[in-house]
A and B are shown apart, each in its own frame.
Chain A
Amino acid sequence: MLWLGTTLSLTFVAIPLFYLARRALDSESQTLTAVVLRRKTLEIFLTTISLAALVVAVATILGVALAWILHNVALPFPNLCRALIILPIAIPSYVFTFCWISLFPSLQGFWAAVFVLVLSTTPFVTLAALAALRRVDWSQHEVAQTLGLNTTATFFQVTLPQIRNSVAAGSLLVALYVLSDFGAVSLLGVDTFTRAISNLYRGSFDRSTAAVLALILVAISGMIISIESGARSRTKVVKSSSRIINNSNLDRELKSRSIAFVLISIYVFLGLVFPISLLLVRFFSNAATIDYTSLLGATLSTIIASSLGALFALLLALPLGILVQQGSTFARLADKGVLIVHALPGIVMGLALVAFGSEFAWLYQTLGLLAFAYALLFMAKSVGAVRTSLSRVPQNLVDISATLGQTRSQTFRKVVLPLSAPGIFSGTLLVFLAAMKELPATLMLHPTGFETLATEMWTYTSIFRFSEAAPYALALILVAAVPTFLINRPDKNVGSDGDPS
């Protein structure tokens, strides 16, 4: 049964890649090489890579700094601070961009994009760094200090090497995000791959050029993903031992606390308070003229489409995740396939599935296809969650269940599944959240008349109707905040049985 499910998942995963390749090879090979080698492609390549590199650099430094502060400095209302720093994840980059350009319409260009993307992606690094810091044995830190190293030196020589892998994983997530970002770069006029692909798609009947660029982008993303998964597998999942000593000795010095306060305030202001206040202001100043039916409709549509996408992702991911966790080689290969699809930026997925969908009239422009797109785009998150949750179930308990007379499937049902359910659910929430924020694929695949919060917001923004776009942006943030909050609650205590929550 599992094998059937996995093979099915694999077939689905192969669809976009197949259609993309077919589309790219549609044109003669001459045009193909001409496209790859033309100067514009090089310009696009350089722009994209430098944007990604800069954003990664700034977001990493900022993210680690924030995580450090959260972990080590005595803050008032630490849980609130943590939530505030993480919440910008709920705000898609195009909403940030929207907020800033609605106030300063002349905001354009590369550096504006860097600014906006840093704001959107820093939480990825912060989350990773914070989780890593929590696993560090703090007694080492204290010993280092007694051996004469000051805080900075201790950080660089003792702490950093230990959290390096996790932080790197977070940074790579940032890189992927920048590569696939469409909304911010379009609004700000930065010529990256996604924008170029979109232009080619819309401005040209010959979509094979777009497909070629898409394949290049996929190759770059694929490289990044394989680096990330390599880094991830090197970071062993540490079985939590009750012996990890956390830092009970928070820094209470005025100087540290002031710096921390300033940094956090700036970040929270730019990344959370400012955009939301702006949206609220615009919302209330136009409250009378808002089309509430449309707003509600779009909200509902967003929730429906994203839930369906998350459900599909789970269904596709479950058999695969279970097999991977059991260590089958077939499943391992399948996992790599899933990773490649995960590397597909939204616009590329949209392109591929439009080609796929137009061959099957009953599928074309249906909600199902859109949900399918979400599932494929974000399935890797689900597979990862399934795999991790399953692996966290102690083998001990599985053995005991066997000795207590349970067959394998009984053990799975009564022990493994209930214990891994919370983690799997978290993974599903992740897909839900990602689907809600998705823009380019949604723009291309949504059924006519089925508008989501993202598409409505986009339509209004591109004709400068900022006041009318604002309610949709606000609704998007509010709806997205719910799963964001659920996923990132402060971790509960992990018991000695290793039960994660």
Chain B
Amino acid sequence: MTSLEIRDLGVNFNNRQILTKLNLTIQAGAFAAILGPSGCGKTTLLRTIAGLITPAEGTIRFGKQLVSVSSLVLPPHKRNIGYVPQEGGLFPHLTVAENVGFALGKKLPRDERQSTIESMLTLVGLSGFQKRLPHELSGGQQTRIALARALAMKPAMVLLDEPFAALDQALRAGISEEVVALLKSTNTTTVMVTHDREDALVSADLIALMRGGTVVQSGTPAEVYLKPISADVAESTGDVVTIPAMRSSDGRYFSVLNHGDIRTSDGESGELLVRPEEIRISDNPASSQVMAKISRINYYGHDALLELEFAGMPKTVRARVAGAMNFEVGQTVFVQHEGPIRWVSVKATHE
């Protein structure tokens, strides 16, 4: 298993800059998720790592080996990485066994080939499927076979491009868990591209957030969730509420949440980034002096998102409450903020 190090990567296409000064380090054996909205260049990044796109500048290293320096690149068939694109990409004219054994080549003696194929199929839980054809498989099965095919050549790392995007909602959780578990159990360095933040948070050891062709923040899921560097990043990793606030010169924060008067003259204006679950509400007046009125309840079964109206704030604030709750629309509740202060000054907002 190998580590991946990318430095200052730049990729152009048709005179447009797709990736700019992109930096990313992934340790050997780690499962990394690259998270970002569509169009931010995630797939381009993946394909560049695979060697399918030649960058304009920057370096890529697999372990100690320099694989790409500016436009000098090692071609993809020499990089020994497994690539699983968005729709599995099984060869329709070959059986499952032939697909899985595709990379194994003629050098391997026949029975070794067979046994490798068999063990791969067992690994993904589809032994016995050797003679099937791709169009006979379900979406989830195709993804797993594609993975088996990639793993069969014992790659240095595996690249997944939105592997679960095409699957039915009902199947997704199950399959993604299995696949992730598999990759982790074999200690495979994995880079998974996704736009689904839940997938990323659940599976990854490292999350890299991409925006506008570069990595804006990377870290463990907790780091990235709890300590986003900007409102944008915060939004990519979870629900976020922005609350206008003032910071006084002596470092205190004033917003509706602490009943502070935000019109303090000597202070900087900005926003607080708050996660809905960090806003605690109760019907007990003794818990807090901050009041709000419930204007709407969105009930999800396992929890509910309540929209709160504060005096002095035109927009509503969302608060998360666990399942069994007794609140009603129109009720006045008492609000507490239980979470870190994430301050973004006005200038820095929404880069």
Residues of A with Cβ closer than 8 Å to B? Answer: 394, 396-397, 399-407, 414-415, 418-419, 495-497, 499
Contact = CB atoms under 8 A, between A and B. Distances in A.
B163 interface: no
Given A399-B76, A403-B52, 5 more contacts: A404-B83, A406-B102, A407-B77, A414-B102, A496-B87
Interface in B69-100: 75-83, 85, 87, 89-93
B153 A404 contact: yes
Question: Is chain A's binding surface mostly helix, strand, loop or mixed?
Answer: helix
A406 B77 contact: yes
B47 A402 contact: no
A400 B93 contact: no
Given A405-B77, A405-B80, A497-B87, A399 B103 contact: no
Contacts of A396: 85, 87, 89
B50 A403 contact: yes
A399 B48 CA distance: 12
B51 A405 contact: no
Contact of A400 (B78, B85, B135): B85
A404 B149 contact: yes
Nearest to A422: B93
Nearest to A408: B77
18 contacts: A394-B89, A396-B89, A401-B91, A401-B102, A402-B77, A403-B50, A403-B76, A403-B77, A403-B79, A403-B83, A404-B82, A404-B83, A404-B150, A405-B80, A406-B77, A407-B77, A415-B91, A497-B92
Nearest to B52: A399
A495 B91 CA distance: 12
Given A402-B51, A402-B52, A499 B92 contact: yes
B91 to A, nearest CB: 6
Contacts of A415: 91
B76 A402 contact: yes
B105 interface: yes
B134 interface: yes
B103 A404 contact: yes
A485 B85 CA distance: 38
Contacts of B79: 403
The 8 closest A-B pairs by CB, nearest first: A403-B83, A404-B103, A402-B76, A499-B92, A400-B89, A418-B93, A405-B77, A405-B103
A394 B89 CA distance: 9
Interface of B: 47, 50-52, 75-83, 85, 87, 89-93, 102-103, 105, 134-135, 149-150, 153
A495 B135 contact: yes
B322 to A, nearest CB: 40
A290 B105 CA distance: 59
A218 B102 CA distance: 50
A499 B153 CA distance: 26
Contacts of A397: 89, 91
A161 to B, nearest CB: 30
Contacts of A496: 87
Given A405-B77, A407-B77, A497 B83 contact: no
A419 B134 CA distance: 14
A405 B47 contact: no
B77 A419 contact: no
Contacts of B87: 396, 496-497
B93 A419 contact: yes
Contacts of B149: 404
A420 to B, nearest CB: 10
Contacts of A495: 92, 134-135
Given A404-B153, A405-B153, A419 B92 contact: yes
Contact of A403 (B51, B90, B134): B51
Contacts of A401: 91, 102
A396 B89 CA distance: 7
Nearest to B83: A403
B297 to A, nearest CB: 36
A479 B125 CA distance: 51
Contact of A404 (B51, B52, B102): B102
Nearest to B135: A495
A402 B75 contact: yes
Looking at B81, B92, B135, the one whose CB has the most chain A CB atoms below 10 A away is B92
